[in-house]
Amino acid sequence: MASVILGSQAIKRNELTRGQLRWRYESIYPDVYVPRGAPRTLYTRTVGAWVWSRERGVITGRAAAAIHGAEWIADDTPIELLWKSYDTPPGIIARDDHFGYDDVVEIDDMAVATIQRSAYDLGRHLPHRTALIHLDALARATGLTAEHVTPLIERYRGARGVRRLRKALDLMDGGAQSPKETLLRLLVIDNGFPRPQTQIPVADERGRPFAYLDMGWEDVKIALEYDGDQHRTDRTRYVWDERRLRRLRELDWLHIRVIAEDRPFDIIERVRRAWAQREPGPMAV
């Protein structure tokens, strides 16, 4: 566990004097301290929030997802707790929600929402796009599926945000390998295209996979991939990608490469043109 202390407790136990606490530590929440100059990582802040609750809150949401292995969660993300409080400090979100003992596991001596409960809270409380990014990441890290969360929806009938949760779970896909991929997938779905598959294996003439496509439509051989900065700054990666692309074209794949600077309208037009090449008719808009 990170070096987080409850100041009043340390003084009461004669572990520190008030002067030592003042000079050697700095506050991250009321009465919660870390060594002066220590990085305020997500994990440190999570431990601090739990200590602030006098070790009685349950860590949930994004902080819990990170503990379970999910990526793409910033260090300054608010820490969500299942905990009743009328005076919550900045950086902590406390919700007096119902939960059962089987919604909680112990990790690093702290009470943490299970993977399923973390997903349940992510999908109910976050805006749709943000929730989907974090649900994708949690699914990728843990193998979570919508079916794992369904029992909680049934258990807590009438809970706030369930409709939003169901929508997010329906779109959740652990094949996304970055937030940009999640948002790209959502963009094409929102514009009326069939839901793309993710991590599509493409085999060579010997039946050995040589590529796993970010997403696309295997039946019509249209690939849609997001290129991050590493594709431009890493020469070895660039050469490998170019050779991979040539092999895909030899196998009659249409490949749509998206970069950060592309506008949503332009991306959709490129996808429309690809579908028009493959399937003149309903998708040739």
Tens-place pLDDT, residues 51-63: 999 999 999 999 9
One domain, residues 209 and 248: yes
The structure's pTM equals 0.92
| Res. 282: pLDDT tops 60 | no
Report if residue 118 sits inside a domain.
yes
Q: Give tens-digit pLDDT for 176-221.
A: 999 999 999 999 999 999 999 999 999 988 888 999 999 999 999 9
One domain, residues 74 and 166: yes
One domain, residues 148 and 205: no
Report if residue 91 sits inside a domain.
yes
Q: Give tens-digit pLDDT for 103-127.
A: 999 999 999 999 999 999 999 999 9
Task: Give the number of domains in the chain.
Answer: 2
Q: Which domain holds residue 57?
A: 39-171
Of 141, 171, 201, at which residue does a domain stop? 171
Of 131, 147, 171, at which residue does a domain stop? 171
One domain, residues 162 and 241: no
One domain, residues 120 and 230: no
Q: Pick left, alpha or beta for residue 195 (phi over 0 → left; psi -120 to 50 → alpha; otherwise beta).
A: beta
One domain, residues 126 and 99: yes
One domain, residues 85 and 183: no
One domain, residues 67 and 156: yes
**Torsions phi, psi for 85 (to 5 deg):** -150, 140
pLDDT for the residue 278 = 86
One domain, residues 112 and 193: no
Report if residue 67 sits inside a domain.
yes
| Mean of pLDDT over the chain | 94
At a CB cut-off of 8 Å and minimum separation 6, what does 132 contact?
168, 171, 172, 182, 186
Q: Give tens-digit pLDDT for 15-68.
A: 999 999 999 999 999 999 999 999 999 999 999 999 999 999 999 999 999 999
pLDDT for the residue 1 = 59
144: Cα within 13 Å, side-chain hemisphere: 30
Q: Are 104 and 112 in contact (CB under 8 A)?
A: yes
pLDDT band at 223 (very low <50, low <70, confident <90, very high): very high
Q: What's the rounded mean pLDDT across residues 75-103?
A: 98
